[in-house]
Amino acid sequence: MSKNKHLALLMASMILIFSCKSQQVNSSSKADEKAATAKEGQTTSATKSVKQNQLISISEQNLSPNHARINATLIYINPVLMPGDTSNPCSKAPCKAKLRVNEVLGYGSSFGNPLSSGDTIYTTFMFTTHATTKDLFPAFKEFYPGVKVGDKIQTDLESRLGMGGGGSVSYFVYGYKILK
């Protein structure tokens, strides 16, 4: 084989390896023309796979580790306030809620428990389910309008594994936007 053919074969093989696609290599000898055509086809499909993987990684680039971006519907707000420290916002407004996952848009690295459309999960809204006001968060610059049952939201949901290795997972909402 010529040097260019070896280089093309090496590049196609590396692209296939890095795109995590397994592909059977045909080792039988064929006419040079058929081999060249097959190599060009492999390179084209491998290039498409790499481009698709690049799009996925670009869209996930802004997701923090242990986070999933989801669209969800709020189906329940637990009205019980957290007792104790009155400076804690969850002692002034509800923080616990149940979400139904409508769509998973992406995952950051190390997200512990994959979610599917239709899953229901219990979450803690770290800035409460009420609107962020100066009373609740005197130094907070972000504004969240508050949520109510039936609202559809998009959020970057944080996942934390429970202590003791029991396999329990806790989910936390730090911010959201209400979807129309």
Stretch 164-174: mean pLDDT, rounded? Answer: 84
Residue 180 confidence (pLDDT)? 87
Residue 32 confidence (pLDDT)? 45
Stretch 15-31: mean pLDDT, rounded? Answer: 36
User: Residue 14: is its pLDDT beyond 80?
Assistant: no
Largest CA distance in the chain: 80
Please check whether residue 148 is in contact with residue 178, taking contact to mean a CB–CB distance below 8 angstroms. no
Q: Which two tokens stand for residue 30?
A: 């064929």
Stretch 149-175: mean pLDDT, rounded? Answer: 88
Percent of the chain whose pLDDT exceeds 70 = 65
Instruction: Give the strand pairing for 120-125 and 169-179.
Output: parallel
Residue 31 confidence (pLDDT)? 43
Distance (Å, rounded) from C-alpha 149 to C-alpha 80?
15
Residue 150 confidence (pLDDT)? 97
- For domain 67-179, the CATH class is mainly beta
Stretch 116-144: mean pLDDT, rounded? Answer: 89
User: Residue 12: is its pLDDT beyond 70?
Assistant: no
What is the distance, to the nearest Å, from the Cα of residue 50 to the centroid of all Cα atoms in its chain?
19
* Cα–Cα distances in angstroms (integers) from residue 151 to residues 68, 80, 111, 115, 133, in the given order: 19, 20, 25, 19, 20
Instruction: Give pLDDT tens digits for 44-94.
Output: 443 333 333 333 333 445 889 999 999 999 999 999 999 988 888 899 999
Fill in the amino acid letter for 29. Answer: S
pLDDT band at 4 (very low <50, low <70, confident <90, very high): low
Residue 46 confidence (pLDDT)? 39
Distance (Å, rounded) from C-alpha 129 to C-alpha 77?
8
The domain segmentation of the chain, as residue ranges, is 3-60, 67-179
Residue 140 confidence (pLDDT)? 81
Q: Which two tokens stand for residue 102?
A: 């409508």
pLDDT band at 16 (very low <50, low <70, confident <90, very high): very low
